[in-house]
Homo-oligomer: A and B are copies of this chain.
Amino acid sequence: MVLDMESDMTSIILYSYFRSSCSWRVRAFLAFKGLKYQYEPINLLKMEHKESHFLKVNPNGQVPALIYHGRVMSDSGTIMEFLEEMHPEPNPALPNDLYERQIVRQISAHIGGLIQPLQNPFLASKMAKKYSDGDEEKIAFIKKDWPVSVISEGFVALEKLLEEHGGKYCFGDQITIADFYLVPQVANAERFGVEIHNFPSIERINQALLQEECFKVSHPSNQPDTPPQ
């Protein structure tokens, strides 16, 4: 792992885990902006994000983390807002109109603040272990049941938002920051067995986005740390 930041102050390094939905957001966004980066895998299952060599990079102990020309930043939403401000072109990902920006951020926050943090497998796992008195069957049940419950409930409100504001993409026919929240969240939903057909706007927009090059090259099936099939 390259941690000598002094050695390359003009590069972009992304600390990512192939299956982390927040990492996927940033991988896709970097591709959308045409920004090349060095990929540094952090294996969440091996708890590498809590090891001291990574905590030196990102004291939060979270992926994704980005080193942009020597500056460390974390939180996927923060990173995307930064990249959007630093690289508005090509492919602006926020509308110019302030009311429209607000809608894009509201959709983003609905996924990034209300759904993803609560369906995070680490949350369900921690919760299950804390309160199940070591009952392995119950722990396994909670780890599956909780994310499904959170995502299903969150998608009901998300579907309404996309019915109202969506077009080809989450906000009309322009790819915006909100789309980088949607695709990884739908992948999580599918992984947990949530029935996406019940949410036609979510399903339609996700399908359209998956055709975009930036989501193809950043797909979890296709990363340096993706395990061989």
Q: Which residues of A contact B (CB under 8 A)?
A: 59-62, 71, 73-75, 77-79, 81-82, 85-86, 98-99, 101-102, 105-106, 108-110, 112-114, 117-118, 123, 127-128, 130-132, 138, 142, 145-146, 149, 157, 160-161
Known: A82-B105, A131-B132, A131-B138. 6 other contacts (CB 8 A): A59-B160, A78-B106, A78-B108, A81-B102, A114-B117, A130-B145
Contact A85 B61 (CB under 8 A): no
Interface of chain A, main secondary structure: helix
Contact B117 A77 (CB under 8 A): no
A131 to B82: give the CA distance in the assembly, Å. Answer: 40
> Given the interface contacts A74-B106, A75-B106, A106-B75, does A60 sit within 8 Å of B157 by beta carbon?
yes
A133, closest chain B residue (CB) = B138
Contact A146 B160 (CB under 8 A): no
Question: Nearest Cβ in chain B — how far from A63, in angstroms?
Answer: 13
Chain B residues with CB under 8 A of A138: 131
22 A/B residue pairs, CB under 8 Å, sorted by A? A59-B160, A60-B110, A60-B157, A73-B102, A74-B106, A75-B105, A75-B106, A75-B109, A77-B105, A78-B102, A81-B101, A81-B102, A82-B98, A82-B101, A82-B105, A113-B113, A113-B117, A118-B123, A127-B127, A130-B149, A131-B131, A131-B138
> Given the interface contacts A114-B117, A127-B146, A131-B131, does A109 sit within 8 Å of B78 by beta carbon?
yes
Q: Which 10 A-B pairs have the closest CB atoms?
A: A75-B109, A78-B105, A82-B102, A59-B160, A117-B117, A78-B106, A60-B157, A85-B98, A78-B109, A73-B102
